[in-house]
Structure 1
């Protein structure tokens, strides 16, 4: 009876052994052949083993009742007065890996992937934009202020000169009064022109930006100006996909979840500043790509 075990050997050798032995487990072959066939099989194993390893155990007439052979470089069969033992070979010569062209190509490809991953995590230029309005209706409500913050921290803020009475609840929410708009506000067209110059051609980041863009695009058209054509990155759907168990998806709730402080909520530039910080965190966590 013989037992042959194979590790990491070519499929052709495995198929060859099944002509003489039964594979009772992956890589373990058992058979009952003559000594001549056994030796021929072992020769075939040694010839076709490639970079794999093999061990042969067989019955023989000695004190142990069996003998064994192996191709493993870390093991050596030692005969001590007719008794066979396995000696662990130490200080064996090691082969330095990574010198072949294939290995060098794999190493270079891996390094390129790491560089690409690092580049994806490093934010490119973008600007966060936020507005405050007198209400939610694009047909009747007006923009009160526009805030924008670039990824490098540069800020833009304008109050819009409007001849309106700001609703009391909006004053309480934003702190913007009709008197402030009259004294500190700039004409709507001037503010939009400055915003266009400020954002340039980099992506615009916003939170629930469909609301903001609806008002901005309306007023760009009202002023006879071209709408912003920048790439838009709305963080609301991004956060909803990632954070499925928040109580709600109001900006303040999301900021709190990510450990971002917004000291003056419902102030356009403060909200834009916080949105910029949220975008930076999402980029760092590989959730957002810009």
Structure 2
């Protein structure tokens, strides 16, 4: 509904909604997430989890990198391990290659995600199939703040779909497009790192975001 109203009304709606969220924020130390974001800056993030069940599984690793303009600031990165409160399944270890031994000194979820929120600040969040990662993060953030992450969310697979769809003849637009990450990276001629590592995945997603921004402006 919000996207259908005229610009001035939309801005007023957003301002009122922002103030409502701040008023109901359970911990005022995190009001900074509602500040105007730094211009031309984003944070790309990725999470590794014990599985794909949002209700039952947990985050065990977070990787995040800042982007400024067209530069991926790999020197400004965040890499966190989180200690789960249940045993890891053999299936999940095969995917993310993190063993219980690797996580024995991991942070408590609230501590890790507090560090992440300070790292993000008010910057828009970029990710590949970001909805899942945000849902996993918000399970903890709701306990801390009484609400989820308020920052703008940018989905790289949607950017890639927009780019590929625009290349098709008008009468062929809207058809299915292969959005697999390996397809996206190969098509954009971007370097590939070992997958299912939170920081590596965040860096690759950041590279895709920067290139797609450039392509979509052309």
Q: TM-score, normalised by structure 2?
A: 0.70
5 Å matches for 1:69-108? Answer: none
Please name the residue that 1:178 is paired with.
100
Rate the CA distance shift 1:165–1:235 in 2: closer, same or farther, 3 A. Answer: same
More off after superposition, 265-274 vs 123-132: 123-132
* Unaligned ranges ≥5, structure 1: 1-122
Higher RCO structure (Cα 8 Å, ≥6 apart): 2
CA RMSD in angstroms, aligned pairs only: 2.1
5 Å matches for 1:14-53? Answer: none
- Displacement, 1:215? 0.7
- Displacement, 1:252? 2.0
- Displacement, 1:213? 0.9
1:148 aligns with 2:78: no
Please name the residue that 2:120 is paired with.
199
Please name the residue that 1:248 is paired with.
178
Alignment check: 8 A CA contact 1:163 1:182 kept:
no
- Displacement, 1:167? 1.3
* Unaligned ranges ≥5, structure 2: 1-38, 68-72, 166-174
What SS is found at the alignment partner of 1:286?
helix
Alignment check: 8 A CA contact 2:141 2:147 kept:
yes
Pick the structure with more strand per residue. 1
Alignment check: 8 A CA contact 2:47 2:62 kept:
yes
- CA distance in 2 between counterparts of 1:259 and 1:246 reads 21
5 Å matches for 1:110-149? Answer: 124-149=40-65
What SS is found at the alignment partner of 1:280?
helix
Name the count of aligned residue pairs.
165
More off after superposition, 188-197 vs 214-223: 214-223
Pick the structure with more helix per residue. 2
What SS is found at the alignment partner of 2:216?
coil
Moved >6 Å (runs of 4+): none
What SS is found at the alignment partner of 2:41?
coil
- CA distance in 1 between counterparts of 2:186 and 2:143 reads 37
Q: TM-score, normalised by structure 1?
A: 0.53
- Displacement, 1:130? 0.6
Please name the residue that 1:231 is paired with.
152
1:51-107 CA-partner distances (Å, limit 9, x unpaired): xxxxxxxxxxxxxxxxxxxxxxxxxxxxxxxxxxxxxxxxxxxxxxxxxxxxxxxxx
Which protein shows a greater Rg? 1
